[in-house]
Amino acid sequence: MADLTYREAVAEGIAREMRRDPSVVCLGEDIGAAGGVFKTTQGLFEEFGPARVWDTPISEQAIVGAAMGAAMTGMRPVAEIMFSDFLAVCWDFIANEMPKVRYMTGGQVTVPMVVRTANGGGLGFGAQHSQAVENWAFTIPGLVIAAPSTPADVIGLMASAIRSDDPVMFFEHKTLFASKGERPPEGHMVPFGQANVVRAGDDITLVGLAWSMPIVIEAAEQLAAQGISAEVIDLRTLVPLDASTVLGSVARTSRILIVEENPLQGGWGGTLASIVADEGFYDLDAPVKRLAAANVPLPFATHLEDQVLPSVATTVTTAAAMVNS
């Protein structure tokens, strides 16, 4: 029975780790008594108090800078950046500092911190509050990148993120906050770099991440009604990237369609497509295809935003054409 929302899973995942490890702390804007602007930290302040749940000024640089310093000196901070678009404000820490310390000190100093953020479009928040920016972080060596699509994966990946000795970018999708799923048992963990085969199939592989998972799952249902068997894969993490599961699927289906929210230009799907083209070329019966957002700022108007982002209809049409060609 579905008994946990995605947004509740965020707070529960953090709380489980805070109970387990006293070095885990949280910091961000309005995450304390207010419970977070998206209500993803509700209950943490009441349970753990102001010594471990820190409300900060409206300064992304201060939030990430303080978290980095805390991580380097023995704590395991979980820092919230309210909207992923605002990662640009503290990009020097994310691109130049956090991912390089362990390497530049020869492993003498680790940065065990999580930067979690509300990511992506689909809710009409406009161009400065709707971007999917996993592809920004994807270009930076040294960052782990997680983007869960279900409440159970939120909890499982959060456990792996907080326990990691490397900095983790944790992308929570705004359109998924109200979605529901079963509450996983205590101790539930999802290892990084382990994709989830959500649905088995024989005719085509559909790959998604976070926002696009409901789209590809629904598309697979509609394709089944047309007699097309689609295998659905949820990557769950981009770094590490589970290319082996994708390649194994392509070896069976001979076709792959990648559906992502990032703009087509520079999206993570381009990297996955190149891996499949390099290592799975002789398994393919059709060219690798990608569906991604248009290379434009996200419109505010819902009907225009819908035109920019991939949809169930475009996924079904593209996949059917690949199979029937």
- Cis omega (within 30 of 0) for bond into 240: yes
Cα-Cα-Cα-Cα dihedral sign, residues 47, 51, 52, 56: positive
Sheet holding 237-239, edge to edge: 53-55, 24-28, 76-83, 114-119, 168-173, 144-146, 237-239
Q: Alpha-carbon distance 77 to 157, whole Å?
A: 16
- Provide the CA 295 distance to its chain's centre, in angstroms: 20
DSSP characters over 68-136: HHHHHTT-EEEEEEEEGGGGGGGHHIIIIITTTHHHHTTTSS----EEEEEE--SS---TTS----HHH
Identify whether 188 is a catalytic site residue: no
Q: Which long-range contacts (CB under 8 A, 24 or more apart) does 43-50 make?
A: 43/11, 43/15, 44/11, 44/14, 44/15, 44/18, 47/15, 47/18, 48/15, 48/18
Pair 240, 205: CB distance under 8 Å = no
Q: Say how far apart CA 183 and CA 103 lie, in whole Å.
A: 37
CB atoms within 10 A of CB 263: 18
- Name the active-site residue from 129, 173, 188, 303: 129
Q: Which amino acid is at 233?
A: I
Q: How far apart are CA 280 and CA 10, in angstroms?
A: 36
Residues annotated as catalytic are 129
